[in-house]
Amino acid sequence: MSAAAVTRRRRVSPRRVAARAARGLSPRFKRRLLALAVASLALAAGYHFWLRDSTLVEVERVEVTGLTSSDSDRLREALTRAGRTMTTLHLDREALERAVAGYPVVRELEISADFPHGLRVHVVEYQPAAIAVGDSGRVPVAGDGTILRGVKVEGSLPTVDVDGALGTEVLLDRTARGAAAVAGGAPAVLRSRIMDVQRRADEGYVAQLRDGPELIFGAPGRLHAKWAAAVRVLADLEARGASYVDLRIPGRPAVGGLAATTLAPVAPAGPELGVAPSDTTTGTGVDPAVTPDVAQTAVPDTLPDDGTTPPVDTAEPTAPETPAQPTDPLTAGAGGGATAAP
């Protein structure tokens, strides 16, 4: 007999193993297993069809937190009314979301049961980041471009221009959504100082601070790192008087428009780039990330209206001329720079 035939002969199916095990059980043990199965089915059915929707666990108390908008009272009432139709064993998230669907300020709901009769609802709100200005008017928007109609705005917010229609729920203009993202990433202490956020062809997104420099962001990516670099530069006393801060490389922000006496870079290189401030190829000790007008060069204090950097004269200074030495009148014409008198 071959080895394959022996293997087929010894192979036993799982079904046969189970049948043999069942035959080995005593009748009493079989009755107990059957009773346990029936009890489990009864409990599951009772829970599903009676207990989870019974008055024994109905919601009587709804605690709503996280509301700060002007619609707080109406939102709390809508959530409370919807929550009291549920039980702590059968929470209906979709019903709660439908209750607040008409309030654009609501970003997300976090719900949890407080057994046996309590329900906790935490509302995560959108925060207005900018004012979108378009052909159809002005409306506050969140950092992701969500339109927040009816939301009360407190304090000053930057403006973003919208090309064409605003939209219904989200800004249709992609450029305006990028500007809103830049404004939304700003720390609260700086957001009220931003006048507007625009997109320029050569510099990308630029935020103009009130009584402060322009902040050049380039593409709307790594906004957390770029805003952190902006805060670091603006807090440095040596950056006072700067007309712009280039944040396109957040680890090495470039500052322009400072006085000609500034020698050291305002913001040293970040450790993530692995470059020390003194690691230069010019041998002058000036950070190459700082534009030439930060070093010992004479530049205007303000930028042109088009936002471009004015040309800088970087020519090497020439040595002072040596005073002419007295020469022999008889040999002056041979190369002394003068001719002898007749």
Return the pLDDT at 143. 95
Instruction: Check residues 322 and 78 and name the one with the higher pLDDT.
Output: 78
Per residue in 135-145, pLDDT (tens digit) is 888 999 999 99
Single out the residue of 135, 228, 145, 153 nearest to residue 181, CA to CA: 145
Res. 320: pLDDT tops 80 = no
| pLDDT for the residue numbered 9 | 53
CATH domain 58-125 topology: Ubiquitin-like (UB roll) (3.10.20)
Give the pairing type, strands 118-125 and 61-65. parallel
What residues are paired with 206 via a beta bridge? Answer: 198, 216
pLDDT single digits (tens) 44-62: 766 666 667 778 889 999 9
Contacts of 209 by beta carbon, 8 Å cutoff, 6+ apart:
190, 193, 194, 195, 215
Q: Where are the domains of the chain?
A: 23-53, 58-125, 222-304
What does the angle CA 68 – CA 70 – CA 72 come to, to the nearest 5 degrees?
60
Confidence bin at 260 (pLDDT 50/70/90): low
Predicted local distance difference test score (pLDDT) of residue 22: 66
pLDDT at residue 102, rounded to an integer? 87
**What global pTM score does this model have?**
0.59
Residue 47 has what pLDDT?
A: 60
In the chain, DSSP finds a helix count (H) and a strand count (E) of 8, 11
Residue 27's pLDDT is 78
pLDDT value at position 278?
Answer: 35
How do beta strands 194-200 and 214-218 pair?
unpaired
Using DSSP's 3-state secondary structure scheme, residue 107 falls into strand
Confidence of residue 284 (pLDDT cuts 50, 70, 90): very low
* C-alpha angle 244-250-254 in degrees, rounded to nearest 5: 35
Q: CA 150 → CA 70, 102, 128, 141, 229, distances in Å?
A: 9, 10, 11, 11, 34
Q: pLDDT per residue over 91-125, tens digit each?
A: 999 999 999 998 888 999 999 999 889 999 999 99
Place of tokens 């305002």: 266
Q: What is the percent of the chain with per-residue pLDDT over 70, rounded to a whole number? A: 67
Assess whether pLDDT exceeds 60 at residue 208.
yes
pLDDT for position 330: 30
- Residue 177 pLDDT exceeds 90: yes
- Between vectors from CA 217 to CA 169 and to CA 176, what angle results, nearest 5°? 20
| E strand or H helix at 316 | none
pLDDT bin (cut points 50, 70, 90) of residue 337 is very low
Q: Is 295 left (phi over 0), alpha (psi -120 to 50) or beta?
A: beta
- Give the residue among 214, 255, 213 at the shortest CA–CA distance from 238: 255
d(CA 180, CA 146): 9
